[in-house]
Amino acid sequence: MGFFPVDHVTLEHLKLIGQFSINGHVLFFGGSTAALILWYQDSFRFSCLRNGTRNDTEEQAPEVGKVTFPWDWNIIIILVRMIALSLEPLFLYGLMINEYKKCVEIDKKLGITAIVSRSFLDISYLVLRFHTGFLGNQFRKYRRKLKNKLHAEKKGAASRPTETMASTDPIDSSHSTLVKDLRKYFLHQHLLFDILVFLPIPQVVMLCILLDVRAMKSLKTLQILNIFIFFQYWPRVFQIYLPRKDLGSNHEILGGRLWVLGPLDFFLYIIAGHVLGAFWYCFSIQRTVACWYRACENHDGCVRNSFYYCDHNFGYHSALDDFCPKNMPNAELFDFGVYLDAHQSYILESKNIPQKIFYCFCWGMRNLSSFGSNLRTSNDVWENCFVLCVTIFGLLLFLYYMGNFQIYLQRRITSKSNAEAAKKEEEGINPLKNVSFFTSINLLNYCLSRAY
């Protein structure tokens, strides 16, 4: 006995069949009306055929577990912020040592690349935040809720007595409530926080240095640049942590693709090593300039600010080489500490950008994975603070990834157990046997009542 598809079933087909057929479906008909019950996983839907036309009483339920857009906007935001973090150290790699003239110079091409890339990625992130925060579904639902609330308040105020309306203006009160609710929403979405993070302070400082390297004037200006970049790193990491946390708590939006969080966390670990290597490179330059300052104290005619003028030749290079030697360092004169490797490897005066970046990246990954246990420091306070940051940061990342890995395993075990339980329950229940005759008669009567 054949079975006709739903879209092609007509009254002529029903008259030819003359009885119901079971092929994953149950078909009832009578007179000029046919009721078609379509079985799904845990629910059913029926359609009425009247004069050969389908009249659905319910909308077709969406497929369970189907994701409309599997790559959520949170993942795109995380990727944009990770790329921005990976390009941020270009501000630090733009500085270099001119060993021949004993001065600090800047790579203009790398500096311009850092300014353009950071500005472009910041604008891209703001566009994404505007799209997801102001134009996204969440904001539209929130705005609709506020409009309904405002309409209800106006309607309730209109039904009050005249003296009550005179005492309180419903429009002003409703407007103030709407403004307060919108302010709460924007503060919750961290939009003001994002704007504060995107203050172009590193771009402005780097642009001033590009226009005139002598704008640094002293070692303190270089330290100020490092401070701004360092303190803007933590809010940028926070911008990655928030959407990553949303994906971890609402993992259903990934559609079973929970493994996506693993590469994201690993890439974040790679960026951490890259950032630590960049700061180590910049601190090494500062330590070298500090050694030159110390040498100037014992040398007549040495001008400290001249270390930022590379268009000169003052002739006291031999004194600086004696006080700050590379091949045979003397800790009694000046101890470079953890920056001795950068001082001896000639990486500070190298113009090969890939060589410089990969060497510092390797240093950062090795010491981050070992929690900085192999670093030998000097008695410099800031150097010891840097090593402490490496140790603490490496330990926090280790605990963070171990916790996420345990959560991932627990969710995998839970999902597998739930799937096995659902499969056993589905195998033990035959939906056709559980359809009562009473339900079938009621459905048929409903369709007949709609037909006549």
Lowest mean pLDDT among 28-37, 170-179, 311-320, 329-338: 28-37
Residue 92, in any domain of the structure: yes
CB 289 within 8 A of CB 421: no
Between the alpha carbon of residue 423 and those of residues 41, 279, 413, 446, the distances in Å are: 11, 54, 15, 33
Cα 11-16-21 angle, rounded to 5 deg: 90
* SS3 state of residue 393: helix
Flag whether pLDDT at 22 surpasses 60.
no
Per DSSP, what are the bridge partners of residue 48? 35, 55
Percent of the chain residues topping a pLDDT of 70: 50
Residue 66, in any domain of the structure: no
When divided into structural domains, the chain yields a total of 1
Residue 63, in any domain of the structure: no
Measured CA to CA, the distance from residue 30 to residue 266 in angstroms comes to 64
Residue 212's H or E segment, with its range, is: none
Residue 449, in any domain of the structure: no
- Sign (positive or negative) of CA dihedral 320, 323, 328, 329: negative
Task: Dump pLDDT digits (tens) for 191-203.
Answer: 666 677 777 777 7
Residue 431, in any domain of the structure: no
Phi, psi of 134 (to 5 degrees): -95, -35
Which whole number is the average pLDDT over 384-410?
84
Residue 434, in any domain of the structure: no
* SS3 state of residue 301: coil
Flag whether pLDDT at 359 surpasses 90.
yes
Task: Dump pLDDT digits (tens) for 234-265.
Answer: 777 777 776 666 665 655 555 555 666 677 77
Concatenate the DSSP letters of all residues of 33-96 into one string. EEEEEEE-SS-EEEEEEETTEEEESSPPPPPTT--SSSS-HHHHHHHHHHHHHHHTTHHHHTEE
Measured CA to CA, the distance from residue 292 to residue 320 in angstroms comes to 6
Residue 408's H or E segment, with its range, is: helix 381-428
Domain limits for position 289: 73-369
Which whole number is the average pLDDT over 285-305?
76
If you average pLDDT over every residue of the chain, what do you get?
67
pLDDT given at position 133:
56
pLDDT given at position 245:
67
CB 383 within 8 A of CB 338: yes
Residue 407 token pair: 């959560």
State the pTM of this model: 0.63
Per the model's pLDDT, the better-predicted residue between 229 and 187 turns out to be 229
Phi, psi of 431 (to 5 degrees): -60, -30
Q: How close are the terminal C-alpha atoms of the chain, in Å?
A: 30
Measured CA to CA, the distance from residue 442 to residue 452 in angstroms comes to 15
Residue 116, in any domain of the structure: yes
* SS3 state of residue 419: helix
Measured CA to CA, the distance from residue 163 to residue 137 in angstroms comes to 41
Flag whether pLDDT at 59 surpasses 60.
no
